[in-house]
């Protein structure tokens, strides 16, 4: 029974401490809330005054802003023109250089095509040489000069064909 009494007293003390703790915390929370309320009211007053002043300033500054925008726009246009002039000149110069380069390349390509055409014609003539015919004519007893005249090919080519065939002239 004493234990029950001690337990009830201890429980009552703990409960009293909890209530006291909650009361203290509630007071602290109330203080904080009152501080926040005062701060919010102060901020609302300031916002009201700022909005009031802003309306006045907006009316007076609209014309100033428009004037300033036009001034800045004119200054920017001038700067852009000033900056673009050398760029435009450089672009025209580069265009002229590229055209000149293109013309030079076209001329070189035409020259190379002409050279390739000549080389192809020479190579085609070399392919038309009938090596077996040259060897046959030489074995029949014709000289290198006679074979060259008859086949209408240079004497050196006749000699070259005969050397490749291992025929002594």
pLDDT of residue 12: 93
Let me know whether 27 and 85 are in one domain: yes
Let me know whether 74 and 143 are in one domain: no
Look up the domain containing 74 and give its range.
Answer: 2-94
Band (pLDDT 50/70/90 cuts) for residue 158 is confident
pLDDT of residue 23: 94
Band (pLDDT 50/70/90 cuts) for residue 40 is very high
- Residue 115 included in any domain: no
Burial call 128-151: b when 16+ CB within 10 Å, e when fewer: eeeeeebbebbeeebebeebbeeb
Q: pTM of the prediction? A: 0.33
Mean pLDDT of 34-43: 92
Let me know whether 10 and 86 are in one domain: yes
Mean pLDDT of 143-162: 88
Let me know whether 77 and 9 are in one domain: yes
Let me know whether 139 and 63 are in one domain: no
pLDDT of residue 96: 92
- Residue 108 included in any domain: no
Band (pLDDT 50/70/90 cuts) for residue 124 is low
- Residue 86 included in any domain: yes
Let me know whether 85 and 158 are in one domain: no
Output the 3-class SS for the chain.
CHHHHHHHHHHHHHHHHHHHHHHHHHHHHHHHHHHHHHHHHHHHHHHHHHHHHHHHHHHHHHHHHHHHHHHHHHHHHHHHHHHHHHHHHHHHHHHHHHHHHHHHHHHHHHHHHHHHHHHHHHHHHHHCCCHHHHHHHHHCCCCHHHHHHHHCCCHHHHHHHHHHCCCCC
CATH number of residue 164's parent domain: 1.10.10
Q: State the Cα–Cα distance between residues 127 and 133, nearest whole angstrom.
A: 13
Query: How many structural domains does the chain have?
Result: 2
Average pLDDT value over all residues in the chain? 85
């Amino acid at each position: 029974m004493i234990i029950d009494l001690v337990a009830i007293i201890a429980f009552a003390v703990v409960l009293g401490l909890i209530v006291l703790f909650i009361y203290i915390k509630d007071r602290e929370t109330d203080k904080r809330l009152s501080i926040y309320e005062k701060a919010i009211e102060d901020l609302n007053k300031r916002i009201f005054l700022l909005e009031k002043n802003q309306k006045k300033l907006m009316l007076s500054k609209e014309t100033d802003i428009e004037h300033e925008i036009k001034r800045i726009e004119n200054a920017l246009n001038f700067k852009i023109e000033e900056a673009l002039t050398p760029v435009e000149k450089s672009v025209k110069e580069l265009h002229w250089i590229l055209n000149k380069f293109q013309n030079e390349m076209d001329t070189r390509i035409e020259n190379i095509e002409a050279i390739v055409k000549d080389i192809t014609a020479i190579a085609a003539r070399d392919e038309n040489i009938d090596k077996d015919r040259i060897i046959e004519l030489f074995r029949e007893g014709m000289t290198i000069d006679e074979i060259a005249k008859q086949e209408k090919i240079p004497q050196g080519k006749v000699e070259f064909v005969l050397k490749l065939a291992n025929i002594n002239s």
